[in-house]
Amino acid sequence: MTLPYPRSDERRRMVDLQIAARGISDPRVLAALRDVPRHIFVPSPYDRDAYADTPLPIGNGQTISQPYIVALMTELIRPTSMDIVLEIGAGSGYQAAILSTLVRKVITIERIEKVAAHAHANLVAVRADNVEIILGDGTLGYPPSAPYNGIIITAATPEIPDPLKAQLAEGGRLVAPVGGRSLQDLVVIERHGDRFTEEHHGGVRFVPLIGKYGWEEE
């Protein structure tokens, strides 16, 4: 998919210098980062820095992750064209838009109504018509569309919520920032029956995951 938006040179530089140069190698993931216009998902005046290697504010105390982290989390779930993927924390919709080019369907859950509305508008703008936004507590997952081949949690959780583990398909992979409110470890689990293997991919910083199986709102 090639979208008719400007700043394509900036996207190419972003992928070459920030993403591929740091070890992301899945060609489908790299193509998605080149095609999806990140500046659409970043409000003014921060959109001028949309292709910088940094997270940016999107309002309501939320942020859009830096492009490298989006690419890394996407690659870690090993997406295929037939997958159904669950995202916890829609934010501005950018992660869901990237996933939409790679998988069959994306369910993204957002607890803040205003943020969900902005994500919806952004996803419509880039024609990501295989994304469904659910308003609610993301720590509970979304059983009606389970099981999921991949789950991405885009907020910091003290531990991986049990409902999300239960909704992961056999062989499915879940990636999440696990730890405290200020610093986390990027963790991947993979399901094998009732057993889950675990990988660790370094320190990250995300806003807290608020919900029944996450953090309490301050």
Give the Cα separation of 72 and 65 in Å (integer): 11
Q: Give the span between the Cα atoms of 112 and 128, in whole angstroms.
A: 20
How far apart CA 1 and CA 135 sit, in angstroms, is 28
Give the span between the Cα atoms of 208 and 155, in whole angstroms. Answer: 5
State the DSSP string of 111-155: S-HHHHHHHHHHHHHTT-TTEEEEES-GGG--GGG--EEEEEE-S
Neighbour count for residue 141 (Cβ, 10 Å) = 26
Count Cβ atoms below 10 Å from residue 21 Cβ, excluding itself. Answer: 10
* Marked catalytic residue, from 65, 100, 145, 182: 65
Q: Based on the residue annotation, tell me whether 25 is a catalytic residue of this protein.
A: no
What is the residue type of 35? D
CA distance 199 to 189: 6
Active site residues: 65
